[in-house]
Amino acid sequence: MAKHKGRGWNSRLLAAALGVTTLAAAASVWTAQADPLGGRQPQARVPAPEVTKVAADIAHASDRGARGVNITIDDGPDPVWTPQVLQLLKDSGVKATFCMVGTQAQMYPDLVKAVVADGHRLCNHTVSHDTTMDTKSEEYQAQQILDAERMIIKASGGVRSQYYRAPGGAFTPYSRKLAASHGMRPLGWNVDSRDFERPGADAMVATVKNEISGGPTVLFHDAGGDRSQTVAALREVLPWLKEEEYVFGFPVR
């Protein structure tokens, strides 16, 4: 899988993530809540949902079989583009998998909850979308994955990510096994719309039409810049896939 390079927002996310990681490391299992008498009583956090055991190899297939298609949406949530993508999916009757960056999820928890409420699935896309994390230490990889897991669970109101997608496909054997041990199936893709390059909606549509026969998992984005072309491409691609008798599903777990 080709790595996505040259995306200037990574550095901003990384800076935010470093501050978040410091706070997360210092957080207690207990949070204080003021009582009517002015004292403070400890309140236990809501426990994380139970982990389901999954395989550590990278998934590409659809749970809907040979004619299944998995729409995956990366890098959000974003206050401008995620609502538009959600509305388009709802109008089309399509469920998708949203691969969320931890800092984005933390900033926009209402959007995370909206994704879940519409019946879509969540995917952990790390804290800061570092496409070079496969060159970093195991400690760093663990921080990126596990801190994002905590952020997404909190933002969603207790819903766990079912998948883990490494930024730019920067998987390692360690990161795959770690994610799987937390119930997140490593998730690849077959069709890269390359919408992050903004080649025009027509070019994205042509890419999907030309490459969908090679595998079911299609990659789009709802954050990281202007995604108006992505919305336009999805508006054309989704009905075309239905006309071609594809059915929409989720990646296998």
Is the CB of residue 19 less than 8 Å from the CB of residue 27? no
Active site residue 74: yes
Alpha helices, DSSP H, located in 157-251: 173-181, 201-211, 228-243
Max intra-chain CA distance, the chain: 67
Active site residue 4: no
Per-residue buried b or exposed e for 110-129, using 16+ beta carbons within 10 Å of the residue's own CB: ebbeebbeeebbbbbbbbbb
Which pair of structure tokens corresponds to residue 158? 């207790």
Q: Which residue in the list 120, 125, 129, 221 is annotated as catalytic?
A: 221
CA distance 79 to 192: 23
CA distance 60 to 58: 7
Q: Which residue in the list 4, 74, 125, 134 is annotated as catalytic?
A: 74
Residues annotated as catalytic (active site), given as ranges = 74, 221
